[in-house]
Amino acid sequence: MEKEKSDEISYILATPYTIAKSRTGGVISRLLSRLDLELVGSQIFAPSKELAEAYAASLEQNTPPHHEDVNLPSAGRLLADYVRQNFVPSGGRRHRVLMMLFRGTDACKKLSDVAGALYQENRGPESLTGETIRDTYADLILDRENPHNVRYFEPAVMTPRNQETALKHMKVFADFIDSEPNLIDNMTYPEPEKIERTLVIIKPDNWQFASSRPGTIIDMFSRTGLRIIGCKVQRMSVAQALEFYGPVKNVLRDKLSPVFGKKATATLEREFGISIGEELRREITNTFGVYYAEDQFGQIVEFMSGIRPEDCPVDEQHNPGKVKSMVLIYEGIDAVKKIRDVLGPTDPTKAPGGTVRREFGSNVMVNTAHASDSPENAKREMKILKIEENNCGRVLKDYIARVEG
């Protein structure tokens, strides 16, 4: 029983308004910095009218009131009405919702605690502390003379209060998100030829312990005004890392081999008190220098996949890696340049203040995030990482089958 409890999975949804207002990063920061749960899935999807209605019906049936004040409207009804009004398509356009799946002991309770209550005991502004996500981002304004009349309601996030309810809701979502594309195409632009898509990876160094860093990085990218149209948790395989960073290998060899060949030569001359001729210098560069450059490439692969390429059997190179990243797809005018301007140059020590790499990077390899350097490379990188695929639907279905089996 304890093992099952430790493997509990629950979800939290960032609402369309939260995403549209670029509050996604702030929400993720709260979740990741305050939870000892594992993020096992993340997907942006655009609910259909049928899905929204099914979710609303499940909320009405399975969500008990979260308050004791009989003058307040039912929480289940309030949330159901919100979903019917805000999750359904409008003007022929579906709206983006972000689902995040967390696994661990008491996942439902912990997510619910960080999300915060719908109803505060005292709803005056001075009583709000900003402690929970809803304290900071949600609004509930009631008519003073008629508390049953909700003038304005925005919950910011949606999450179930118990595992039984979570399971029922997840059944509603599982088939839908598993069949939906992982990239949202719900926007009509006046000049579509100017629109670019670019790929961002929030690298493994941001996921080593509970931290607000991934959310803060997303928040920094939000100042570009670009739209997030895709998101997934990625465990890059060795094969993917080798292909993804393949173009870097020759660059490293060309740039590093002469540098470290020269350093090795100087060390030998100093240690042994000899003078090394030009022919031997070239030999050292073509051997030790090349070896060092290839070792650096192996370190990059290991950093991104968690496995040194030479330590990974060929028949295991396509298995998911041992470390986690998050992949995001941004869309908009000059998307590549805007993201890279916020990201900063490869070497964090040379990055301007206020850039992601200046804030969080350590060195040219552990530099916190990757961003495509051209629309063409963005397409190449999306293909390698299979951006059209997402594991959220599979995680939901496997969990449902395990619990019910």
Q: Distance between CA 207 and CA 42 in Å, rounded?
A: 14
Residue type at 8 in one-letter notation: E
Beta partners for 93?
90
Residues 6+ apart with CB under 8 A from 183: 197, 229, 230, 329, 387, 388
Beta partners for 199?
329
Structure tokens that stand for 317 in this block: 């190179």
**Beta strand pairing call for 369-371 and 195-202:** antiparallel
Residue type at 100 in one-letter notation: M
User: Are the beta carbons of 75 and 134 closer than 8 angstroms?
Assistant: no
Q: Distance between CA 11 and CA 22 in Å, rounded?
A: 20
Residue type at 204 in one-letter notation: P
Q: Distance between CA 106 and CA 286 in Å, rounded?
A: 56
> Is 370 one of the catalytic residues?
yes
| Site of tokens 């986690």 | 324
Residues 6+ apart with CB under 8 A from 10: 101, 102, 107, 108, 111, 159, 160, 163, 166
Exactly one of 148, 169, 318, 370 is catalytic; name it. Answer: 370
Nearest C-alpha neighbor of 323 from the set 392, 234, 385: 234
For residue 149, the 8-state DSSP code is -
Burial bucket for residue 401 (CB in 10 Å: 0-12, 13-18, 19+)? exposed
Active site residues: 370
